[in-house]
């Protein structure tokens, strides 16, 4: 669906994106995550043909973003980080305006229904909440029935219920056959939604792959979380562990080796084990590791 090769964007002497490469398959959600200023929005603006790359190449369905920007704009939908709407219009008027601009016959009523705007589409947008504005903006991005949907921080600033509802819509759009690129700085959201993702750091790809593969490859060290009936620091020291509140975090080579060592040291210290659990790396752990260059 999408091929990006050494894509670079400079603003004067500042390199916002430096030699980024990745591919996006048909009918998948591809996440672009990273700290503020990592270059996420700049990349998707280049793919949306809003910004022209300084160097490198990118193609969408075989069409080069530099050579065929008008053709590409016909097959993509783009939700910017801060979408602009017209407060004096109703939701229906707003969608009908963009349907006319795209010269599309896509059913506006179906978009209104899909985004849950039936009770609100006749009202002025100026009366909409943040969540309703975002839902309307997503509907506007779908008005030309795009093959590729680009979402830049779609749930930013939304309350938990609105964010969850929008995430479910994203999954439904993927399952209906759309390809989606989504920028987000919410790691739980990326883990939940994305089939593949790229983690950016200072304009470059620091890691990419499936969320589960990135988590599995994060470290060769496992961790066990133990609660003892004592707060003996000598016990913590003997396990080469760290204390976090009542929890003792123990690095182990294998779960079996670690469990045996914990039992042995607990017996020596005459301590009782109240609980023991495996700590599974999260996508946030991966993100912190690759963007802050720290050991797990």
Q: What are 94-117's pLDDT values in tens digits?
A: 999 999 999 988 889 999 999 999
How many CB atoms are located within 10 Å of the residue 21 CB? 16
Asked if pLDDT for residue 289 goes beyond 90, the answer is no
- Give all domains of the chain, ordered by start, each with its CATH number: 2-216 (3.40.50.300), 222-280 (3.30.70)
Helix boundaries (H) for 11-103:
40-47, 69-75, 91-102
Residue 294, pLDDT > 50, answer no
Q: How would residue 216 be classed by pLDDT, with cut points 50, 70 and 90?
A: confident
Partners of residue 33 on adjacent β-strands: 184, 199
Determine if the pTM surpasses 0.85: no
Q: Are 269 and 234 in contact (CB under 8 A)?
A: yes
Interatomic CA distance for residues 146 and 148, integer angstroms: 5
Mean pLDDT for the stretch of residues 82-98? 95
pLDDT value at 295 more than 70: no
| Span of 121-130, 161-170, 223-232, 276-285 with lowest mean pLDDT | 276-285
Half-sphere exposure (Cβ direction) of 109: Cα atoms closer than 13 Å: 0
Share of the chain above pLDDT 90, in %: 82
Contact 199, 33 (CB under 8 A): yes
Percent of the chain surpassing pLDDT 70:
98
Starting at the edge strand found earlier in the chain, the sheet holding 29-33 runs 76-79, 148-152, 179-184, 29-33, 196-201, 204-209
> Is residue 219 scored above 80 in pLDDT?
no
């Amino acid at each position: 669906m999408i091929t990006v090769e050494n894509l670079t964007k400079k603003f004067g002497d500042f390199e916002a994106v430096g030699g980024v490469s990745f591919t996006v398959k048909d009918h998948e959600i591809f996440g672009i995550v990273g700290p503020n200023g990592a270059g996420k929005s700049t990349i998707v603006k280049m793919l949306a043909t809003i910004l022209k790359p300084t160097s490198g190449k990118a193609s969408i369905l075989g069409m080069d973003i530099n050579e065929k920007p008008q053709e590409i704009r016909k097959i993509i939908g783009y939700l910017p980080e801060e979408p602009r709407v017209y407060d004096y219009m109703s939701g229906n008027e707003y969608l009908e305006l963009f349907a006319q601009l795209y010269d599309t016959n896509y059913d506006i009523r179906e978009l209104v229904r899909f985004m849950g705007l039936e009770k609100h589409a006749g009202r002025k947008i100026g009366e909409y909440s943040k969540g309703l504005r975002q839902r309307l903006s997503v509907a506007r991005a779908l008005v030309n029935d795009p093959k590729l949907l680009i979402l830049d921080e779609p749930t930013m600033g939304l309350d938990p219920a609105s964010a969850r509802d929008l995430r479910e819509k994203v999954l439904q759009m993927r399952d209906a056959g759309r390809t989606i690129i989504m920028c987000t700085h919410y790691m739980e959201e990326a883990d939940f939604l994305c089939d593949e993702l790229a983690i950016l750091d200072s304009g470059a790809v620091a890691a990419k792959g499936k969320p589960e593969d990135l988590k599995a490859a994060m470290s060769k060290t496992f961790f066990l979380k133990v609660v003892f009936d004592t707060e003996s620091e000598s016990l913590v020291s003997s396990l080469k562990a760290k204390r976090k509140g009542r929890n003792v975090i123990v690095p182990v080579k294998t779960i079996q080796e670690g469990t045996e060592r914990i039992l042995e040291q607990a017996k020596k210290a005459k301590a009782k084990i109240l609980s023991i659990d495996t700590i599974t790396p999260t996508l946030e752990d991966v993100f912190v590791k690759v963007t802050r260059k720290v050991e797990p």
